Amino acid sequence: MGLNEYKKKRNFKETPEPSDGKKPKSSDLIYVIQKHNASHPHHDLRVEMNGVLKSWAIPKLPPKRKGLKRLAIEVEDHPLGYEKFKGEIPKGQYGAGKVDIWDSGTYSIIEKSKDLIIININGKKLTGEYCLVRTKFQEQENNWIFFKK
């Protein structure tokens, strides 16, 4: 997806969100979940892949235990550096509302294909193997299911 969609949706003169980011010196892959109190409160899962943060909006609390499945809606990629962002996106801007870091850490990829991503999360709240499985419901390519394996 790249960062074009991310940049098109934002006015960086108005929002404190980062426009570009750099890879931290660590070789570990970045994982973060941000709590986003926007027009619809949700959580944003972000994992580093191919130089960006692949991102999914999760309408409910992320699953901490097996057996809970959550809808995860793929959204535009975010720049590296966004994993540290917390603050207020001003009213009138895309995603307006408060952003806090809910969980963060590192992760490793166990398996990855077009429709399946299995990762091992090393966060403070979430740990262990998690799956993202793309659904094909009503041709909605951006809908995934997120759950603990």
Question: Can you tell me the distance from the alpha carbon of 116 to that of 28, in angstroms, rounded to the nearest whole number?
Answer: 21
Model pTM? Answer: 0.88
Each residue's pLDDT tens digit, 80-92: 999 999 999 999 9
Query: What DSSP character marks residue 2?
Result: -
Average pLDDT score over residue span 3-12: 80
Predicted local confidence at residue 72, as pLDDT: 97
Distance (Å, whole) CA 59 – CA 144: 12
The SS3 assignment for 16 reads coil
CA distance linking residue 122 with residue 128, whole number of Å: 7
Could you identify the residue written with the tokens 């979940």?
A: 33
Nearest 5°: phi and psi at 84?
A: -100, -10
Euclidean distance between CA atoms 64 and 10, whole angstroms: 32
Q: Which two tokens stand for residue 51?
A: 């130089």
Residue-wise pLDDT tens digits, 40-80: 999 999 999 999 999 999 999 999 999 999 999 999 999 99
